[in-house]
Amino acid sequence: MTNEVDTDTRELVELLKDRVTGSIETSLDVCAHCGLCADSCHLYAGTGDVEQIPSARSQQLEKVHKRYFTRLGRIAPWLVGAEDLDEEVLDRLQRMAYQCTLCRRCALYCPFGIDNASMVSAVRSLLADMGRVPEPLQEHTDNAYEKGNTLAISDEQFLDRVEWFEEELQDAVDDDEATIPLDKEGARVLFVPTPIQIMRFPSVIISAAKILYAAGENWTMSTKRFDATNFGLFSGEEEKRDEMSQRLVDEMERLGAEVLLLSECGHSYWSMKYAAETWLGKPFPFEVKNIVEVISEYISEGRIKLDSSVNKKLVTYHDPCNLSRKGGLLDEPRACLEAACEEFVEMTPSGAEAWCCGGGGGVIAIPEYDGVRLEAGKPKADQMRESGAEMVATACDNCKLQLIDLAEHYGVDVSVVGVTDLVADALILDEEEE
Amino acid sequence: MGYWFAWFVSNLLPLITAVVFFGGLAYRVVRMWRSPRAAVSLVVPPRRRSLRSALGEIVTEVVTFRRVFKGSRALWVVSWLFHLSIFVFVMGHFRLFIDFSWLWNLLRLTPEQVDTLALIGGGASGTVFMLGLVALLIRRLRNPARSLSVPSDYLLLLLLLGIAVTGNYMRFVMHIDLELYRAFFSNLFRLRFGVPVQNTVFVWHFLLVQLFLIYVPFSKLVHVIGGVLTLKWTLR
């Protein structure tokens, strides 16, 4: 049977072989097709499409793998549902892999704890090997790889923006000496924002600067590396993924900083904190922290003081999957909001089991998937509405973009805001006599 | 049913079954045991856990099916009782091989009381097992599980249903003389070919059980072993 396979397919099959090994193979074997993961996935809950069940994604990989690499799959493909790796299947795999946000909520609901995101990542890498990354995502990734950041912001543009950020900072803290330090060697903290914050959500950077200023932090930004994101992780191109994390490591080394402080962004935190050391095969001589983590430290150490009466609106928190479920930052953002806002309410479920907003994993960069992305956000939109909150705070660009879209699409009357912004607004700056 | 068919099922097939079942299972266990964990940690949410607490959580999961409970109460009731019934009747079947007279003495049970206990335990577990299979089959025929099912998933349920029906028939309709079966199995375990038991239903029951056991190492039932491993990956 395998003799019938043509040369093109044979190459694909070889690639497939390398992708389905070890824990991936075991996980595929263990999945009992029970379907309990279905209701845990925002994509299935939102669309009702059986192609969007976490196990369906893994099974699609299992089906083609079985066809070529198991005895039963070769002898009796119909019995075990083995399928040829043809164009149709490749298209389906592409949809399945790049619409999934890699949020790993299903892993908490699987009786065997199977991590379907691992399988999806393997499929992404397989598709990347074949040059089948969705085009817009590929474009962002190539920009980041070749030009240093996903939006291809030039150095001049960046410096121009920072100049403006600095003016805003000076206004906000009423101090003409306040600066946004650039390339400062020996700074304790290197703060790295995201291109989208530089262009679309500048308040995040200004707010962070304000807080770092108020805390008297010895910090800096880099003129060389101002993109914390890692689109290589999204596209599945492992080489680019590794290179992107290596760049941040190199910059930490160049400036001699002790803490890599990542801005409001989910996947960059997960990448650098939990994965990059493994990808690059070496332990980092510095700490990786997210901005909400550092702010909560400042609060508990008394390095900044907040006046919660500034933020009177009822606030809820959307857990970015990469910070909460995958990142373990559950209490920190809540501590920030409790200190910065008068009233805080939780969505249910929240924390590690929070619904994914549907905007992560790179899907937001692919306009072709907009329809599915909005449908998939329904559980989150419902949660926001049911919470009764007037404001949804979060700490991730992708989440923010998605939540803004969801509020509009589903007519939920909430504003979307960053945790950092709320804290910055509540800062008490006039206690110098203390 | 021919005599030689019964003879084959009762004497020769068990040898094949034993080799395939134990050999296949050993192969799967070794393969899974050697399966390296993912390079990047799969622990969700990431936190430090002692080995003891991770094991404690795995045991809790295996005994209570907590994650199934979290996902669907209805499925939890069915699947928990279903798996419990398997545990009960598998235990019960050991009476076919030996008489646990020391245990009955210890518990001060008369043979009649033991039989009543067996009737209750065996009858209840057999019934729950059969109804559970029907419920799982119906669930599999409806979406979303339907979309995830492949023929082998149905085949497995049907095979088990055949085992349940023949088993329950013997439990509820026929009178079974235990001594006869103990003699038969004692022969079999000593690898002596002997005369098959004169009971068509038993022969079919035994055949289906063996087909099931032969299929186990190649089937989704390896979730029983591998599931513990994948669960551990997400805990520690």
- Of the candidates A79, A113, A328, the beta carbon closest to that of B46 is on A328
Q: Kindly tell me if the per-residue pLDDT of A4 is higher than 70.
A: no
- For the stretch A330-361, pLDDT in tens is 999 999 999 999 999 999 999 999 999 999 99
Assess if residue A141 is contained within a domain: no
Do A188 and A99 share a domain, yes or no?
no
- Of the candidates A23, A40, A56, the beta carbon closest to that of B71 is on A40
**CB contact (8 A) between residue A107 and residue B44:** yes
% of chain B at pLDDT higher than 90: 75
Structure tokens at B126: 């057999």
**CB contact (8 A) between residue A115 and residue B234:** yes
- For the stretch A296-320, pLDDT in tens is 999 999 999 999 999 999 999 999 9
pLDDT at A165: 97
DSSP A262-317: E-S-HHHHHIIIIIHHHHHTS--SSEEEEHHHHHHHHHHTTSS-B-GGGEEEEEEE
Q: Kindly tell me if the per-residue pLDDT of A293 is higher than 60.
A: yes
Assess if residue A139 is contained within a domain: no
Do A290 and A310 share a domain, yes or no?
no
Q: Is the dihedral of CA B166, B172, B177, B178 positive or negative?
A: positive
What is the count of structural domains for chain A? 3
pLDDT at A32: 93
pLDDT at A194: 97
Within 8 A of B222 by CB-CB distance, chain A residues are 29-30
Confidence of residue B100 (pLDDT cuts 50, 70, 90): confident
Domain ranges of chain B: 3-27+71-221
**Amino acid identity, residue A214?**
A
Within 8 A of B223 by CB-CB distance, chain A residues are 30-32, 112
Do A102 and A220 share a domain, yes or no?
no
List the single range of A37-46, A78-87, A113-122 with lowest mean pLDDT: A78-87
- The Cα A433–Cα B22 span in angstroms is 79
CA angle B149, B152, B143 (to 5 degrees): 15
CATH label of the domain that carries residue A47: 1.10.1060
pLDDT at A9: 74
Predicted TM-score (pTM) of this structure: 0.92
Do A324 and A274 share a domain, yes or no?
no
Which residue, chain included where needed, has tokens 């690059």?
Answer: A280
User: What is the distance in angstroms between the Cα of A325 and the nearest Cα belonging to chain B?
Assistant: 5
Query: Top-level CATH class of B3-27+71-221?
Result: mainly alpha
Other Cβ atoms within 10 Å of A367 Cβ, number? 11
Structural domain span for residue A358: 305-426
**Crossing angle (nearest 10°) for helices A331-340 and A419-426:** 40
- Of the candidates A26, A108, A352, the beta carbon closest to that of B32 is on A26
Within 8 A of B155 by CB-CB distance, chain A residues are 79
Mean pLDDT, rounded, for A384-390: 97
Note the ipTM here.
0.90
